[in-house]
Structure 1
Amino acid sequence: MTSDDIPRPGPQRAMRADVRRNRARLLAAAREMFERDGAGASLEAVARLAGVGIGTLYRHFPTRQDLLEALLADVYDGLAATGRELLVSPAPGEALTTWLRAFIVRITAFPGMAAAAAVSLRPEQPGRPEPSGARRAVRDAGEALFRRAQDAGDVPADAEFADALRLAGAIAMVTERDPEAADRLLALAAAGLAPGKGAHGG
């Protein structure tokens, strides 16, 4: 056995635990600050609330978008789980609308969150980093519901899931403080998606 094979002693493990704790504190502080002041809240104030220096914040989250995406990860995981549950619904079109409504509600937890989600969930492009597991999961779950609704004739055959997601994101951005308006706009959008029910329907 060489010296490289010998397990390292406790200090390195303790340091990793400190890193995890700092990250958790930063996320909790960011959530609190953003819910109070919106996604544009001072990052220095976030670091102070977490009890760490601003350098520590930037080591964990090099940009504000990185911090927002870390907060969105839990939202995406929840939406992916909701999507999987809705896949057994006997009404595919209603299941899709239910999921889109949940999407709008959950990405409007604080002002600016919807805009961050719109950036996060853009279709992959050359040169962009690989999407996180949470981002892939939420898109896969939503697209599965969309395709199922399409197969049932509840969504036009030539419609694209990416456009439905953009539409839901746009509704979220313009109704962050007005959930009733979000419901009305989503209902209007859903009526437009359903074949034969729009302005040019039979």
Structure 2
Amino acid sequence: MRADAQKNYDRLLAVARVVVTEEGADASLRDIARRAGVGLGTLQRHFPTRETLLEALLRTGFDELTTRAAELETAGPAGDALVAWLRDFVACAYTYRGAIASMVAAIDDPESALHASCVTMKAAGARMLTRAQAEGAARTDIDGIDLYALGGALAWVGDQPALASRVDHLFAIITSAILTDKPALT
């Protein structure tokens, strides 16, 4: 990639990260291009679809979650590691509000630009869950898909103004339901 093209790509990605964090996944592509100081055509050359832009944004977060899972797999009790990873997943998904539907759809669509990074990140969470189950710290009647769905649901709740204040409480309820060594909240 030419130096000027790389500069535009990097600038578009940096601005898109800010705009999507502020406005959600449905943020105006025109606004992103304008704030980056380029034309819409330049944005579309680098990111032909909204999904390719989201993939570029989410890939970094998903890669960080995958790396974090690898770190947590060898540190501390498996149940605590699972809870820490799930909290990080919810925070990452919430950062890109409105992307949950795209993330869920990408899991089943190998043609999706988001597919590979979503599958890799989901697999990292599943490994965390499997480790916790093997150590007896997590119930065995859930799997990685359930964990991914619960994390996505919590991120969605955080995106609802009337429910956002309940996320921490609901997170505690869900983790107490997943972990065998945590008492149920009353």
The two structures have a TM-score, normalised by structure 1, of: 0.77
1:107-129, CA deviations, whole angstroms, 9 ceiling, x for partnerless residues? Answer: 22253244444444x2x35x634
Q: Aligned in 2, Cα 1:196/1:48: closer, same or farther, shift over 3 Å?
A: closer
Do structure 1's residue 192 and structure 2's residue 177 form an aligned pair? yes
Q: Secondary structure at the match of 2:48?
A: coil
Following the alignment from structure 2 to structure 1, what is the Cα–Cα distance between the partners of residues 56 and 154?
A: 22
Residue in 2 aligned with 1:183? 168
Following the alignment from structure 1 to structure 2, what is the Cα–Cα distance between the partners of residues 70 and 142?
A: 20
Do structure 1's residue 154 and structure 2's residue 137 form an aligned pair? yes
Residue in 1 aligned with 2:123? 140
The higher radius of gyration belongs to 1
Residue in 2 aligned with 1:174? 157
Residue in 2 aligned with 1:20? 6
Give the root-mean-square deviation of aligned CA atoms.
2.6
Do structure 1's residue 52 and structure 2's residue 35 form an aligned pair? no
Following the alignment from structure 1 to structure 2, what is the Cα–Cα distance between the partners of residues 36 and 71?
A: 14
Following the alignment from structure 1 to structure 2, what is the Cα–Cα distance between the partners of residues 41 and 144?
A: 33
Following the alignment from structure 2 to structure 1, what is the Cα–Cα distance between the partners of residues 40 and 122?
A: 33
Matches within 5 A, 1:63-102: 63-102=49-88
Unaligned 5+ segments in structure 1 are 1-14
Letter in 1 for 2:173: L
Aligned residues: 181
Report percent identity of matched pairs: 38
Q: Secondary structure at the match of 2:141?
A: coil
1:119-164, CA deviations, whole angstroms, 9 ceiling, x for partnerless residues? Answer: 44x2x35x634833x4344223212111101111222323211111
Q: Aligned in 2, Cα 1:137/1:65: closer, same or farther, shift over 3 Å?
A: same
The two structures have a TM-score, normalised by structure 2, of: 0.83
Cα contact 2:126–2:143 (8 A) shared by 1 = no
Following the alignment from structure 2 to structure 1, what is the Cα–Cα distance between the partners of residues 123 and 79?
A: 17
Following the alignment from structure 2 to structure 1, what is the Cα–Cα distance between the partners of residues 134 and 122?
A: 18
Cα contact 1:101–1:183 (8 A) shared by 2 = no
Cα contact 2:176–2:182 (8 A) shared by 1 = yes
Unaligned 5+ segments in structure 2 are none
Deviates more, 1:79-88 or 1:61-70: 61-70
